[in-house]
Each structure stands twice: as structure tokens, then as C-alpha cells.
């Protein structure tokens, strides 16, 4: 089945390829060598050689169109045909071009499975999590991580990549000790959420002695047919204190809890609304006296920092700090949108201001050329619906 990519991204790729060919000294030989190095079936290489003409621009367009039409590479079903070609291109381009090509690979799912994970590790590419699709869209029947997490984002701010990249100021060289101390205090309330038998971790946090909140789509993803939030709730395990020890290993002081057996789901709003689910934890959590996060209304504005405590890809707890990542506050629809050039976050992560007040529930991310576009649900929109349960 053919691969489809964003049209603007296609033009960017073609421009990068043309530039590489034109600076090689012999553009026809450049294209031949590029195809030789790609791990394709032999018959495909002959077909690809047939795309080469006496014009580097035409050749670049023809090869990209040819690769898109081929879809998945049968020599490595974790790669699309275009992704296979780009794999050998990554070591040739300059830093700016590399960033663009990597973002396009991630945004258009040109790599999959372990190859995507290897790409993330090698080049420090932010890979969002928790949005599972099937390779059936590429005629392969397996489940894999993609470069998108959560529901689709209706981006309400500027779409100009240069302006979005300019939103990110360099983080300060020094961080206030009190700021770090407050961050550490907040981490005690955050947990990794795992559903037994499913590769779909998420993040949540306590907002009452026995109530955890996370995204609705963590428990029931709208793109997965047959996903049952009630069964998933019965199979859910919460891990508090899942951090690394001084030797870099997962700490052995992690506290594990199940959800309440009788009524685990207290309240919820589906993924296309406020995308939250309020969960009651088993009684044992109260005995541990784990601190919870109190919500108090605070004003937000464009350009403020947003700090996210998260379990990216189900790993030990991480904190992403941004000094001015908020691009827009949309109180009428209950949304906050922001950008980040740090690692992708977990669905359901708490988003804080610089005073470590809870501001939003992170719920979606899409890769962009400069980094990532992110979206959260304003806690001011969620709180009226859950306030009565918090006071019980």
C-alpha cells in the first residue's frame, strides 16, 4: 500500500535531496550511489535506477514519488521505502537539514517499531507515546508506537515553523534551589499507569488521598476497536515513586497499587471532550499518606513556562522544563497549547507553572519540523466537573 506524507514535508525533503545532489559534483552518480546503499530488493533497485534523468530536480521528485508508491520495504517491514532511502541520507546532511529530515520521518511514521526507537535513541528525537495504531494501514498486521500521542490536535495558534521555534528561549544556566525542591515535592504525587497485557503506559497523579486523574484515552483509546475502559481499569497498576536510584537503575522503593475493585471509575469525559478519567485507588493508598496535588486557580498567559512531570514511554520519571513554551490559552474550549524541544511526554501528565501549581492535563502531541506541538486540557475546565468528588 502506498505511503502518504504531508505535502509541505514532501517539498522540504525534495529540496534537501536536490541540494545534496547539486553539491556532490556529479548528480547522476550521487543518485545511483544513494540507491545502491539502500537496503532494497534487487529488482527494486533496478526500478529506482530507472527514475534517474538528466535533471537533479526531476530525479529527486521522481525518486520520492516512486518510494511513496512502493509503501513498506519488504526487506525491513519496520521501514517504509522512503524511510529506507532517508536512512542513508541522515549521515550526509548538515545539522539543520538533519533536524528537518528527522522530524519528517517521525511526523509521517516513515520508521516503525524498533527502528523508530533506535532513531530516537541515536539522534535524541522526541518520540511521543500512548497513541497506538496498527501497521494494517501499511498492510502489516502488528501494533506499534507512532510519532503522535493522544487525540488529533486542532492547532489554534500560528503554524509558521520559524515563529514557533522562536518561541523557545534557551533554558537558564542556573535553576533556583527552591524551584527544584518544589519540583521534587510534586513528583511524589505522580505515578506511572500500566494496563496489564497492553503496551500502553500513561501518567497520572493524585488529586485527593485516593483519587488519581489521567487522560480518558489512556484507559480507552478511540482508535482501538474493542478497547474496554472498564476491563482496562480492572487491569490497571499504578506505580508511585518510579524513579532511578543513584546507580541509574529503577528504584526498589516503588509503591504499587490497583484501582478500587468495586467502582474504579469515578468520573470521566471522552477523548474528544475534556479527555480525563478520575480513578479511585484501592484503600491501601491512604495508609501510605502519599501527598496529593491541590488545585487552586491561577492565571496563565502566552509565553509563560510550562513544566511537565512525566513517564515518557513508560520509563522512570522525567521532568521537562520550558521557560516560555505556552503558545495559546483557549479557555472557551478548555485547551492550552504549547511547544517543546524536549523528550515527548506521557499522556495524562500534570503540567505546572513555575510556582508548581497544576495548570493542565497533557493529552496530545504532534511532531513538527522544529520539535513538537503539544496540547493540554486546562485544569480550570476539568475542576468544576470533579470538585464534588475531591471534597468527599
Distance, in Å, from the CA atom of 152 to the CA atom of 375, rounded to the nearest integer, reads 10
C-alpha angle 286-291-296 in degrees, rounded to nearest 5 = 120
- Asked whether residue 139 is assigned to any structural domain, the reply reads yes
Distance, in Å, from the CA atom of 138 to the CA atom of 72, rounded to the nearest integer, reads 7
- Asked whether residue 230 is assigned to any structural domain, the reply reads yes
Q: Are 303 and 326 in contact (CB under 8 A)?
A: yes
Phi, psi at 325, each rounded to 5°:
-75, -10
pLDDT at 145: 35
- Asked whether residue 201 is assigned to any structural domain, the reply reads yes
Strand boundaries in the chain, DSSP class E: 72-73, 76-80, 132-134, 143-145, 148-149, 190-195, 202-208, 211-214, 236-240, 255-258, 265-269, 276-280, 307-310, 318-320, 326-330, 335-340, 350-352, 358-367, 372-378
Domain match, 116 and 131 both: no
- Asked whether residue 37 is assigned to any structural domain, the reply reads yes
Distance, in Å, from the CA atom of 204 to the CA atom of 218, rounded to the nearest integer, reads 10
**Angular region, 129: left φ>0, alpha ψ -120 to 50, beta rest:** beta
Domain match, 181 and 195 both: yes
- Asked whether residue 194 is assigned to any structural domain, the reply reads yes
Closest by alpha carbon to 60, among 3, 92, 7, 13? 13
- Asked whether residue 2 is assigned to any structural domain, the reply reads no
Which residues, in sequence order, are bridge partners of residue 148?
366
Q: Are 305 and 352 in contact (CB under 8 A)?
A: no
Among 103, 123, 143, the domain boundary falls at 123
Domain match, 47 and 159 both: no
Summarize the confidence of residues 143-151 as an average pLDDT. 50
Domain match, 166 and 153 both: yes
Among 102, 123, 144, the domain boundary falls at 123
Considering its fold, how many domains does the chain have in total?
2
Domain match, 179 and 47 both: no
> What is residue 51's three-state secondary structure?
coil
C-alpha angle 87-90-95 in degrees, rounded to nearest 5 = 160
Q: What is the largest CA-CA distance in the chain?
A: 75
Among 155-164, 167-176, 233-242, which range has the highest average pLDDT? Answer: 233-242
**Looking at per-residue confidence, does 44 or 159 come out higher?**
44
pLDDT in tens, 209-231: 999 999 999 999 877 778 899 99
Q: Is the pLDDT of residue 143 over 80?
A: no
pLDDT at 135: 27
Give the pLDDT band of residue 140 (cuts 50, 70, 90).
very low
Helices (H) and strands (E) in the chain, counts: 13, 19
pLDDT in tens, 59-117: 999 999 999 999 999 989 889 999 999 998 888 888 778 878 887 887 788 998 778 87
Residue range of the domain that includes 14: 7-123
pLDDT in tens, 314-343: 888 988 877 667 888 999 999 999 875 444
pLDDT in tens, 246-266: 667 777 789 999 999 999 999
244: DSSP letter: B
Domain match, 258 and 297 both: yes
pLDDT at 124: 56
- Asked whether residue 387 is assigned to any structural domain, the reply reads yes
pLDDT in tens, 275-315: 999 999 999 999 999 999 999 988 887 777 788 999 988 88
Q: Are 310 and 282 in contact (CB under 8 A)?
A: no
- Asked whether residue 1 is assigned to any structural domain, the reply reads no
Among 123, 145, 180, the domain boundary falls at 123
Distance, in Å, from the CA atom of 376 to the CA atom of 274, rounded to the nearest integer, reads 9
Amino acid at each position: 500500500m502506498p505511503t502518504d506524507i504531508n505535502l509541505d514535508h514532501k517539498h522540504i525533503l525534495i529540496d534537501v535531496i536536490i541540494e545534496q545532489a547539486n553539491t556532490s559534483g556529479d548528480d547522476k552518480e550521487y543518485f545511483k550511489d544513494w540507491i545502491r546503499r539502500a537496503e532494497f530488493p534487487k529488482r527494486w533497485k533496478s526500478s529506482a535506477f530507472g527514475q534517474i534523468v538528466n535533471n537533479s530536480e526531476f530525479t529527486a521528485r521522481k525518486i520520492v514519488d516512486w518510494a511513496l508508491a512502493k509503501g513498506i520495504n519488504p526487506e525491513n517491514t519496520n521501514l517504509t521505502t522512503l524511510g529506507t532511502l532517508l536512512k542513508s541520507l541522515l549521515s550526509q546532511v548538515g545539522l539543520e537539514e538533519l533536524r528537518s529530515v528527522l522530524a519528517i520521518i517521525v511526523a509521517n511514521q516513515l520508521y516503525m517499531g524498533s527502528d523508530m526507537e533506535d532513531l530516537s535513541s541515536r539522534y535524541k528525537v522526541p518520540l511521543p507515546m500512548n497513541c497506538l495504531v496498527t501497521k494494517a494501514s501499511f498492510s502489516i498486521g502488528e501494533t506499534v508506537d507512532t510519532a503522535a500521542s493522544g487525540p488529533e490536535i486542532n492547532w489554534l495558534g500560528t503554524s509558521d515553523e520559524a515563529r514557533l521555534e522562536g518561541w523557545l528561549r534557551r533554558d537558564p544556566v542556573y535553576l533556583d534551589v527552591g524551584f527544584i525542591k518544589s519540583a521534587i515535592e510534586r513528583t511524589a504525587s505522580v505515578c506511572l499507569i500500566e494496563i496489564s497485557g497492553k503496551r500502553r503506559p500513561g501518567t497520572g497523579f493524585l488529586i485527593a488521598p485516593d483519587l488519581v486523574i489521567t487522560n480518558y484515552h489512556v484507559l480507552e483509546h478511540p482508535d482501538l476497536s474493542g478497547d474496554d475502559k472498564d476491563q482496562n481499569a480492572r487491569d490497571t497498576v499504578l506505580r508511585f515513586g518510579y524513579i532511578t536510584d543513584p546507580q541509574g537503575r529503577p528504584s526498589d522503593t516503588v509503591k504499587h497499587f490497583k484501582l478500587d475493585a468495586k467502582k474504579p471509575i469515578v468520573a470521566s469525559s471522552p477523548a474528544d471532550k475534556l479527555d480525563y478519567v478520575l480513578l479511585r485507588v484501592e484503600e491501601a493508598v491512604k495508609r501510605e499518606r502519599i501527598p496529593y496535588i491541590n488545585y487552586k486557580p491561577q492565571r496563565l498567559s502566552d509565553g509563560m513556562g510550562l513544566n511537565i512531570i512525566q513517564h515518557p514511554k513508560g520509563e522512570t520519571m522525567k521532568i521537562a522544563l520550558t521557560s516560555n513554551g505556552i503558545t495559546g490559552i483557549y479557555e472557551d474550549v478548555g485547551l492550552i497549547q504549547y511547544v517543546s524541544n524536549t523528550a515527548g511526554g506521557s499522556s495524562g501528565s500534570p503540567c505546572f507553572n513555575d510556582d508548581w501549581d497544576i495548570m493542565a492535563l497533557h493529552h496530545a502531541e504532534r511532531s513538527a519540523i522544529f520539535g513538537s506541538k503539544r496540547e493540554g486540557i486546562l485544569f480550570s475546565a476539568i475542576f468544576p466537573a470533579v470538585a464534588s468528588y475531591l471534597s468527599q
